[in-house]
Chain A
């Protein structure tokens, strides 16, 4: 007989943050699948490791902070962070890299700042950058696509490499990375960068085996996979179109301008779109609402800034890929962007805002 008192509105579209997070994780599946297909089990193992670490870390911190554990632990945000981190790490990186990275992402970047919604930086990217700076060697040991490897590595081999550093046959990561022809392979972006410093033109470096037919063996498909996932998210209205749109557009325009100015030393626009972590960044990382801008205008600016930074770092910076750095820089700029893109409240004249 008790009457139920609730605050208006009594209706709700029944969306939930956790559902949103789950949706994003699901959307990453095509990309992860492509990764598995071209690079083997490495990233899957890392994703798993990262998720387990993240849950343990989240649980620990939440209990320390006396928070409601059940709702927050499974709100999906920690898992999503872990998944994204796992995706971004080199496939054959040692296990402790993931553990450290995941722990750092959850405990330091997220919870120490106040938990979900309060972290100024994208936890996955912040952890990635931390790892890259702290462990540059391990973090740059990119595994070439399976098809280019001299040997065939199976799940057990990958596991062994990740946990011991050597395959059961005794090969080291360096050896695995060696091409059939006897040279160490890098990512397409790395390749191009190295080649350009060596004085080769972009067209010449495009002949490199890592790049293959299009923009890099495997990488184009991985990016295509994340693009697919992103479109799914857009369709589901789980993410806003604004950030990916402005980011990709900005990257396109920057690379186009670069290409026009010096075609020999600049890669094509499509190369920029489909190598590295471009699509992952566009749809899964920059769209992280917590560390991004909130208004439509703000998001457009946010994405455009990220595109510009990615291009600049890729072209002039010391590191081959730039998504993580660009995202962190944009995260820093987000509050400022928000501040200056406040919408004009209904009935308030432009310019009279305090």
Chain B
């Protein structure tokens, strides 16, 4: 590392590739002192003057502001505040043309000065060493300082780097022709610049400070040498004049021999570069509490009477400066902001000076007859002379870039490292074919950026689309899964092979058994207790006429879903008939079985729907009758029984409403109620016994009916309503009158029935399967309907 310094002390610098020597033309302005700032009638202050985001405006139209007052506040390091360059009134905040190669417009604060130039309250800090580093950084940030050499990178970001810094390079090269702003600033303000350098030194603690300055600024060199004579680690490096030695990468190469890798900040090499004007602004901000509100601008060119450097307030329209320097209104006006190599033409002269504006060029027509104007292109074909490649400081191949740019060959352009082009213009300067190379590169770069944006957008859209597709796919699968499951469940319910089906079947069997048992009790006294378990129920079935039902169930196993429905219906019908004929009418059942696929299907399935209402009524009547009987004052027990029924119904309804889990129980209870009802009826009339028995049988059998799945809720509700209605009626009737019947027997029956109910409950509870429960609930509903319908049908019979 020491050798670098030794080399520099010997005045032996590295060289960057290429470079040109355009006519310097600095003599126009370099000997005249900087003219002091004048206040124009209006200041146009763009809210964003650097690389990064704009701060948030904190003033509004009509506000009176003082000189140096903040107009916007920054919240992130990459956003910088702007300040009022003088005191006055905010007259507008609107979008105006800003200094930009493509003539962009952006929000600007329009300030009408009051001419008083009244400062805001300032706090002078005579010794910055007393301040903490954070405080200094804050001051730099609050002063809105960005790089004043051209790019406009926020300064506090640069000086707050945590990297270990070997070299702090102060860029005073000012390699562009015509521009002398830094030169003059050094000549007149080297002590302040030195203060600024010291502040940055204090912040970064670099091993060495190198001030790079081209050898054509003798006065400035002397001033710098004098100012830095007593500071050991500051070297004033006088480098040969060659454009573009003031480029950051080029100056680093000249002074340290290092190349900044592509796409990397110099701080990764331990190098930080600051422009002299920036150093001046830092000193002003930290010591004098003066934000960046004015800068030196070279106003030059042979179209001016008195080309000179001026202090210009940020926001001063260019036209104000040129008229201050005696601009003769030639017809074909050409104003350039920046130097002749990298500056850009201005569309009109009301473009404001911003923080990075170092030069306004008003050349006469002979002086700079730009070959690249929009109107007079003298471009001819590239002759592959290679001169452009010889001068390119980035060691690119401008001629190949140019071909690819014309052909819009973006992959080739990136392969040729288009984005390493610093747009210095050296290639276009030398090109004998007068090809506006830099223009082509700018367009190509913009196109590539645009393309990238589009790509990103497209990528995002694609991702979104994919996500949506996936989601839909997932939903579809989920739906299919659900359907499958449902179908399976349905099948399973039909299928005796699975446990679910078994349990369900067992439930059916249970119910059947219960009914039969009850009947048996009613007539002879059967072994009802045994029917609580599956096997016993089946045994009971086998014993009784339920044989046939079992047969029907077996049949269900073998046939598919729809058929099983049919079978169910048939079974139901069979059971009904059997019940009607008081058991054991196998012949007629067989006949029905034979007819299963034809008429019986339609009739038995359609029946519930058609006769629904009537059936309900019938059921209600039946129940009511039962109640009546039960409510007979003759028998207390009957009363109790009725109460019990009521209570259980209410309970059942409540439970049903709240939780599904209890449904089997509820169902069982309801069944019990129904049974009780028809048991009561039994006593009154034998025909009715048949009917109600049949009803309950049907109820059980209808359980597996898969169609019920869809209408679960509906049916549920209907069933409940029906039950409630029936009960209500029953109560009324019970209260009203009584009929001659054997209350005692009915009570006995009722007791038996309740026993059955509890058994059924147990059975139902053993069926822990949820599906079974659901099915049970459904079945219950259906059962009611069927009960009604069968009632009806039997009545009509």
Contacts and interface: CB of A to CB of B under 8 A. Distances in A.
B180 interface: no
B370 A2 contact: no
A5 B374 contact: yes
Interface in A1-42: 1-13, 15-20
B432 A347 contact: no
B341 interface: yes
B345 A4 contact: yes
Which of B101, B343, B384, B393 has the most CB atoms of chain A within a 10 A radius of its CB?
Answer: B384
Interface in B355-405: 361, 363, 368-375, 378, 380-386, 389-390, 393-397, 399-400
Interface in A330-354: 342-349, 354
Contacts, number: 183
Given A10-B336, A348-B420, A354-B415, A290 B259 contact: no
B249 interface: yes
A7 B436 contact: yes
A289 B380 contact: no
B108 interface: no
Interface in A111-128: 115-118
B340 A11 contact: yes
Contact of A3 (B260, B346, B386, B415): B346
Nearest to A20: B432
A15 B390 CA distance: 15
Interface stretch (A50-58, A184-192, A251-259, A291-299): A291-299
B395 A346 contact: yes
Contacts of A4: 332-334, 345, 370, 373, 375
A72 B394 contact: no
B375 to A, nearest CB: 8
A262 interface: no
A197 to B, nearest CB: 41
Interface string A316-330: 000000000000000
Interface string B405-430: 00000000001010010010110111
A16 B341 contact: no
A11 B368 contact: yes
Given A16-B432, A343-B395, A6 B373 contact: yes
Contacts of A7: 345, 370, 372-373, 436, 438-439, 442
B371 A12 contact: yes
Nearest to B263: A347
B347 interface: yes
A296 B378 CA distance: 27
A9 B363 CA distance: 13
Contact of A16 (B263, B349, B363, B434): B434
A141 B393 CA distance: 51
Contacts of A81: none
A244 B434 CA distance: 26
Contact of A71 (B344, B375, B380, B428): B380
Nearest to B336: A10
A18 B342 CA distance: 26
Contacts of A348: 261-262, 417, 420
B32 interface: no
A240 interface: yes
A102 interface: no
Interface residues of A, number: 44
A264 interface: no
Contact of B332 (A2, A292, A295, A343): A2
A77 interface: yes
B332 A5 contact: no
B177 interface: yes
Contacts of B253: 346
A3 B348 contact: yes
Contacts of A115: 381
A9 B425 contact: yes
Contacts of A342: 397
Contacts of B668: none
A347 B340 contact: no
Nearest to B338: A8
B443 to A, nearest CB: 10
Interface in B122-146: none
A9 B381 contact: no
A343 B397 contact: yes
A115 B384 CA distance: 13
Nearest to A11: B340
Interface string B314-352: 000000000000000101111110101111111111000
A16 B379 CA distance: 9
B407 to A, nearest CB: 12
B262 A8 contact: no
Nearest to A343: B395
A4 B342 CA distance: 16
Nearest to A77: B383
A20 B430 CA distance: 12
Main secondary structure of the interface of B (DSSP, over half): loop
B740 interface: no
Contacts of B361: 10
Nearest to B368: A10
Nearest to A237: B387
Contacts of B369: 12
A8 B389 contact: no
Contact of A349 (B261, B341, B430, B438): B261
B373 A8 contact: no
Contacts of A349: 261
A346 B390 CA distance: 13
A3 B345 contact: yes
Nearest to A19: B432
A3 B370 CA distance: 13
B380 A75 contact: yes
Which of B249, B331, B375, B382 has the most CB atoms of chain A within a 10 A radius of its CB?
Answer: B382
Contacts of A1: 329, 331, 333
Contact of B381 (A12, A117, A354): A117
Given A3-B345, A3-B346, A11 B261 contact: no
A347 B393 CA distance: 11
A77 B336 CA distance: 35
Given A3-B348, A345-B395, A9 B429 contact: yes
B433 interface: yes
Given A1-B333, A116-B383, A6 B389 contact: no
B17 to A, nearest CB: 7
Contact of A346 (B340, B373, B420): B420
B335 A3 contact: yes
A310 to B, nearest CB: 22
B497 interface: no
Contact of A6 (B372, B386, B394, B399): B372
B343 A10 contact: yes
A8 B177 CA distance: 13
B351 to A, nearest CB: 10
Contacts of A17: 380, 383, 432-434
A56 to B, nearest CB: 20
Contacts of A294: 384-386, 389, 397, 399-400
A8 B438 CA distance: 7
Given A290-B383, A296-B390, A348-B262, A12 B333 contact: no
Interface in A60-112: 71-72, 75, 77
B211 to A, nearest CB: 23
Given A4-B332, A12-B372, A295-B386, 6 more contacts: A7-B370, A8-B340, A8-B423, A9-B370, A289-B386, A346-B17
19 contacts: A3-B333, A3-B348, A4-B375, A9-B372, A10-B336, A10-B368, A11-B22, A12-B428, A15-B430, A17-B432, A17-B434, A115-B381, A117-B384, A289-B386, A294-B385, A294-B400, A343-B395, A345-B420, A348-B417
Across the A-B interface, give the 8 residue pairs with the lowest CB-CB distance, nearest first: A9-B425, A117-B381, A7-B439, A6-B373, A347-B262, A294-B386, A6-B370, A289-B385
Interface of A: 1-13, 15-20, 71-72, 75, 77, 115-118, 240, 289-290, 292, 294-296, 299, 342-349, 354
